[in-house]
Amino acid sequence: MRRGGPEVNSPGAPVPLPVVVPDRGDPAGAIAAAAARCSNAGRWGADDVLGTLNFLTPDKRVEGAALVRRGVTFSLAQSFDMNGPQKGWRRRTNPVHTMLDTGVDAERANQGFPHGFGGADDVVFMPLQASTQWDGLGHIFDHGMAYNGRRAGEVVTSEGDLVTGIQTVGGLIAGRGVLLDVGRSVGTDGELPDGFAIITAHLEQTIHAQGASAAVGRGDLLVIRTGRLARARREGWGDYAGGASPGLSFTTADWLFEREIAAIATDTWGFEVRPNEFDAAFQPLHQVAIPNMGLFLGEMWDLEELSADCAVDGQWDFFLTAAPIPVTGAVGAPVNPVAVK
Amino acid sequence: MRRGGPEVNSPGAPVPLPVVVPDRGDPAGAIAAAAARCSNAGRWGADDVLGTLNFLTPDKRVEGAALVRRGVTFSLAQSFDMNGPQKGWRRRTNPVHTMLDTGVDAERANQGFPHGFGGADDVVFMPLQASTQWDGLGHIFDHGMAYNGRRAGEVVTSEGDLVTGIQTVGGLIAGRGVLLDVGRSVGTDGELPDGFAIITAHLEQTIHAQGASAAVGRGDLLVIRTGRLARARREGWGDYAGGASPGLSFTTADWLFEREIAAIATDTWGFEVRPNEFDAAFQPLHQVAIPNMGLFLGEMWDLEELSADCAVDGQWDFFLTAAPIPVTGAVGAPVNPVAVK
Amino acid sequence: MRRGGPEVNSPGAPVPLPVVVPDRGDPAGAIAAAAARCSNAGRWGADDVLGTLNFLTPDKRVEGAALVRRGVTFSLAQSFDMNGPQKGWRRRTNPVHTMLDTGVDAERANQGFPHGFGGADDVVFMPLQASTQWDGLGHIFDHGMAYNGRRAGEVVTSEGDLVTGIQTVGGLIAGRGVLLDVGRSVGTDGELPDGFAIITAHLEQTIHAQGASAAVGRGDLLVIRTGRLARARREGWGDYAGGASPGLSFTTADWLFEREIAAIATDTWGFEVRPNEFDAAFQPLHQVAIPNMGLFLGEMWDLEELSADCAVDGQWDFFLTAAPIPVTGAVGAPVNPVAVK
Amino acid sequence: MRRGGPEVNSPGAPVPLPVVVPDRGDPAGAIAAAAARCSNAGRWGADDVLGTLNFLTPDKRVEGAALVRRGVTFSLAQSFDMNGPQKGWRRRTNPVHTMLDTGVDAERANQGFPHGFGGADDVVFMPLQASTQWDGLGHIFDHGMAYNGRRAGEVVTSEGDLVTGIQTVGGLIAGRGVLLDVGRSVGTDGELPDGFAIITAHLEQTIHAQGASAAVGRGDLLVIRTGRLARARREGWGDYAGGASPGLSFTTADWLFEREIAAIATDTWGFEVRPNEFDAAFQPLHQVAIPNMGLFLGEMWDLEELSADCAVDGQWDFFLTAAPIPVTGAVGAPVNPVAVK
């Protein structure tokens, strides 16, 4: 890391800010340094499988529940269907939903049931990170190591994640959610451009702009809106899944660590800025956040409706429940997050 | 229907009760009569797709959130894996989870990523009703008709449920949950025997036994524990998926209708008693509840941990969020329901 | 139908020929007329499920086997993987192949087997027409009717093709194959341009050019090369799956019928020319060929290696075995066709 | 290995024979010794991916084609559907076939196509070894090594078999097939009992009994019938997939090696006798045959119809084509083998 280096790679960034940036040519060094500063390995014992979810204590849930005033809900899930963004990269397809029985068959009395009974039934084939999802702690490794100092090859085999499978999260992810609409505070027409790196100052600026209900602290479930999904819906998916996008700067690792948030989610495919801030690197912030920090990352969330509501009533925090489908051994899992205000 | 007929088919029932039972030989007639009495068709307009979820108003969510006192959560989901109960009936398998990338590959540096980055990724193939799930309103038909007077063949085609697909539920299912542990109140060692039909009197008896926090009314999310899952876990799945089980009596249709609950879920495969109370019928209560009443049914929920907690603190209601994965057009969908107390 | 009308829609066609063409504005009329002329309904009895495969008599297999002179084989299958042409149209994805166990796990001794044993295992999810395949007789319907005068709704339900499922073909498709390399005979650099309609005269011209071994008659398995696959491989898939392509003209229906071939296969996605020869129609030749003629169609075959060999030795017929994977009730099925010369 | 040891584990074996048997307590030693004796590593060069298929030379195909006399075919495939033997072991399910479009929808004019066009389409999800299949050379490893001295972790990763994927076989497996109906020659009522180990003497006895057309030599495709499938069909699948079965004795490894057959297939789930002839071992003959000998194994073939025909006409050899579906990187693959006589 060095000060005063080249600007963050944020073409068209409406609010360029000086920032401590990593050496573009040395992702390995920058990652190692950040990993050392931001590691939670051993913090909650050698057997820990929850990482930053340890910050989500019962009192945070009581605090979150107290935010329910109007009783309105917002689903933060995108759709799960063939109209999604996946294009086959790493064998990720969109969800394929097929029917085992249909109403057409029932209407035609093809089904053989008695007394006018008819039924429909269905199956789905989908990559677990095809749409709105949580990354589990077994999703990313750093030099062959998984979260909490475990060897990757002992944690995630062909049988799945034997240690930190997403089912270990159970129903824990319920608490105080906070939406930081960086797209609205910092961007143009509510959207950040592709390649825009959200740095700590942008986060702080947004918190300041949004007011007291946007305070972010220990145990919070932080939700970041960039506006990228709105653009994808308007202009088509294009390269959304794996393509250029605004997102968190690599340099936010320390802020994420120090704030002791329980989890973070964004409205983008990949959470961090793409292309990233190194000359040749792949998802470097993931490499710090998941295997070292033990941070739970949510991706491809739909924050449009919620952000519109928050902008109207000025209340940016809410009760958030986001329990992933507990596929045993999964390293990521679909979720239908629900914000209640 | 006739009064004073043969007893409900409840072998070994600890609390046999006289009950208005249907004519065992005439399921079609009994279903038609109950459907006529308990229909919500047209009640919320011709375009309605929400059925009894219309009862779940914002004030019920405020009421539910106020029940969060300790900030503890309970996941009500069973596991999603090959150890589940499915045996192939109607092509329903257990969920098959396979890996696209693993930690073993990452550790061996097989993946081709730079700077020590490694990743794991996965897919799932599963019937949407393989494990803990909501039945959508397009799951069951009555004489070729779906909920709200629509023709089944116009609603659920090979492309899925074009009208009442589970995604229409979004994040709505969040509100006051109430657990009636009928197994504990009426059964032996906390369990009802297979074939035991839970009648209205059993529900009322349980409400009475559990006290004020167990009151059931308009807009509530009712959760019924029979103890069947505990038995399956102790003795093996056997014929759990489709086999004999305690469950709701056909005769509870009117009670469910009149209470105006928003949804109901049980810890059994099929919600209603099996074998049912007719000589030759298939899931007759479903035929009344879904296409006529528009009632949302949850099945294969895991209520063990929650019921143990409620028995200790005597608080049987809680904030329940149960947002299904919104697979577009699905007639059922997996869910990880979370109770917060 | 009318004579002397507008030319067949064959932009850049190297050999434009006068042809009896259908009225571009009346696909329904043209299809009905061709269907009436080319129907095999009832020809082999009311219970027939084999259609034109009835022409493939044992003597044709003896004749085919006699063509094996050098003992060389040619697989006519394209690959089955994520690099295929599917783009999600009608929920058709490319095949997704995932591992249940790997050599990496075995090498790491992760598998728990004794005495140094290790294993790998895998699964596939794929549309049955994702790559090289046979269309079954239940794949296409004409006004709600399937092959042999059966109602479509009685033949192919949500449980699959209950009558003409591909498994009924068993091992029958083995006999004399004949390759007509129309791309080579009629095209430029071995390829026909997109939208080029192969008419009867082109087929006859190719037979004449290729010589005696290219004669086509009763019971033969006819294989047509357009060169479209070679172009797709050179230029990328683009819109190959469902896009513009050379292919059989609608006007060849009578020739296909009169020749009494047992089956036909091409190196294109859709067998017939695309866009087709009507103003607004979808796969009109399919509608004649499958439900009326009972003709088996093979699509997406790879004829490159075979055609190169035939061009060298001048022998255009061979022993062809093309037994589909007998997925019970399938309306199409993957196949690895093998030509032996 | 030692002579004169305990009898082969063949309860109820109709023809017990003295045999050189391995030390029941030392599978590792016996496997290592047999592997050393029967290794083809390096035999066809360091780059070889075909193993014993190298024996299948063009002249064998000419010889095979000459066996076609009557022009009759026999499909040797079992069905691919939910009625198969899989019960979930190692996540192997039966094939799940679902429809994307149906005739019921077409008949109801639900599909939106013009001019009376209708279609049906389908998908399948299946383990590649769910039904009739070939084991690829990447299916089994010996102490972390794959065929031809390669490290297992370099050959079969989460991306599949990068070296010996089943697609490398292409259309090669076509040649002279020979059926040895050991069940008929040695068993009772055409069936060998479970646990019956077929030793070399049984093979020779069968060859002798069947006569000249049953000679087995270099480059042949050997097919062994035990009768186990007939029993499974009569009595139900039971534990067929992974359970007790007749099969090849471990002691046949040398015979298989010395005969230089191109491939071998059986009508059983696992090719070799189960339980095997060691006190604690798992598929020990596989460990010799695949990674050391490079032998292609076919499993779960249906030989009933073919064997009945051969018994009638006394011709036990035929032209066999058995081209697997070339799923890229597969370690096993479904096949519809066709015998032509």
What distance in Å separates residue C14's CA from the closest CA in chain D?
31
Choose among D98, D108, D158: nearest Cβ to A98.
D98
Give the per-residue pLDDT at B326.
Answer: 98
Amino acid identity of C181?
D
Does D93 contact B91 at a Cβ distance shorter than 8 Å?
no
Chain A residues with CB-CB distance to D123 below 8 A: 96, 98, 125
Could you tell me which of A323, A324, A286 has the C-alpha nearest to residue A128? A324
Does A82 contact C88 at a Cβ distance shorter than 8 Å?
yes
Tokens of A116: 């006018």
Give the per-residue pLDDT at B33.
Answer: 97
CA distances from D212 to D58, D257, D304 (A): 22, 21, 21
Closest residue, chain C, to B90 (C-alpha)? C159
C124-147: string of b/e by CB count within 10 Å (b at 16+)?
bbbbbbbbbbbbbbbbbbbbbbbb
pLDDT by 10s per residue, chain C, length 341:
222 233 233 334 444 454 556 789 999 999 999 999 999 999 999 999 999 999 999 999 999 999 999 999 999 999 999 999 999 888 999 999 999 999 999 999 999 999 999 999 999 999 999 999 999 999 999 999 999 999 999 999 999 999 999 999 999 999 999 999 999 999 999 999 999 999 999 999 999 999 999 999 999 999 999 999 999 999 999 999 999 999 999 999 999 999 999 999 999 999 999 999 999 999 999 999 999 999 999 999 999 999 999 999 999 999 999 999 999 999 999 999 999 99
Closest residue, chain C, to D319 (C-alpha)? C65
DSSP per-residue letters across B129-152: TSSSEEEPTTSEEETTEEGGGEEH
In sequence order, what are the residues at sequence separation of 6 or more whose Cβ sits closer than 8 angstroms to the Cβ of residue C222? C177, C178, C180, C216, C259, C261, C263, C264, C265
Give the per-residue pLDDT at D19.
Answer: 53
* Burial of B45 from C-beta contacts in 10 A (0-12 / 13-18 / 19+): exposed
ipTM (interface pTM): 0.94
pLDDT, tens digit (0-9, with 9 covering 90-100), for A271-311: 999 999 999 999 999 999 999 999 999 999 999 999 999 99
Tokens of A181: 């609409």
Question: Looking at the domain covering C2-84+127-340, what would its CATH class be?
Answer: alpha beta
Give the per-residue pLDDT at A90.
Answer: 86
Are the CB atoms for D186 and D192 separated by under 8 Å? yes
Q: A37 pLDDT exceeds 50?
A: yes
Closest residue, chain C, to A119 (C-alpha)? C158
Site from D60, D73, D113 to mutate, C interface, most C CB atoms within 10 angstroms = D73
Distance CA A194, CA C299 (A): 41
Give the per-residue pLDDT at A217.
Answer: 97
Does A325 contact B328 at a Cβ distance shorter than 8 Å?
no
Give the per-residue pLDDT at C19.
Answer: 53
Q: Residue holding tokens 């693993």? A: B102
Tokens of A8: 């963050």
Distance CA C287, CA C268 (A): 17
Does C104 contact B108 at a Cβ distance shorter than 8 Å?
yes
Tokens of C207: 């037979």
β-bridge mates for residue A174, sequence order: A321
pLDDT-derived band at D2, boundaries 50, 70, 90: very low
pLDDT-derived band at D8, boundaries 50, 70, 90: very low
At residue C21, what are phi and psi to the nearest 5 degrees?
Answer: -115, 155
Are the CB atoms for C59 and C176 separated by under 8 Å? no
Are the CB atoms for C185 and C206 separated by under 8 Å? yes
Percentages helix, strand, coil for chain A (3-state, rounded to 5) are: 30, 25, 45
Distance of CA A148 to the CA centre of its chain: 20
Q: Kindly give the pairing relationship between strand B263-266 and strand B221-225.
A: parallel
Does A102 contact C153 at a Cβ distance shorter than 8 Å?
no
At residue B308, what are phi and psi to the nearest 5 degrees?
Answer: -65, -40
Give the per-residue pLDDT at C20.
Answer: 57
Give the per-residue pLDDT at C22.
Answer: 73
* CA max distance for chain D: 78
Distance CA D75, CA D309 (A): 12
Choose among B99, B125, B158: nearest Cβ to D102.
B158
Tokens of A128: 């677990």
pLDDT-derived band at A190, boundaries 50, 70, 90: very high
Q: A9 pLDDT exceeds 90?
A: no
Does A91 contact C96 at a Cβ distance shorter than 8 Å?
yes
DSSP per-residue letters across D245-309: B-EE-GGGHHHHHHHT-SEEEESSSSSB-BS-SSSS-SSHHHHHIIIII--EEEESB--HHHHHH
Closest residue, chain B, to A107 (C-alpha)? B144
Residue count of chain D: 341
Does A98 contact C91 at a Cβ distance shorter than 8 Å?
yes
What distance in Å separates residue B82's CA from the closest CA in chain D?
7
In chain A, domain spans: 2-84+127-340, 97-125
Distance CA A168, CA A198 (A): 31
Mean pLDDT on A124-144: 98
> How big is the CA angle at B190 (ends B187 and B191), to the nearest 5 degrees?
60
Give the per-residue pLDDT at C53.
Answer: 98
| Residues of chain B in Cβ contact (below 8 Å) with chain D | 82, 88, 91, 93-94, 96-102, 104-105, 108, 110, 125, 153-154, 157-159
pLDDT, tens digit (0-9, with 9 covering 90-100), for D284-303: 999 999 999 999 999 999 99
Are the CB atoms for C194 and C84 separated by under 8 Å? no
What distance in Å separates residue D81's CA from the closest CA in chain B?
9
Residues in chain B predicted with pLDDT less than 50, given as ranges, are 1-16, 18
pLDDT, tens digit (0-9, with 9 covering 90-100), for D14-72: 444 545 567 899 999 999 999 999 999 999 999 999 999 999 999 999 999 999 999 99
Does C96 contact B123 at a Cβ distance shorter than 8 Å?
yes
Does A96 contact C158 at a Cβ distance shorter than 8 Å?
no
- Mean per-residue pLDDT over chain A, rounded: 94
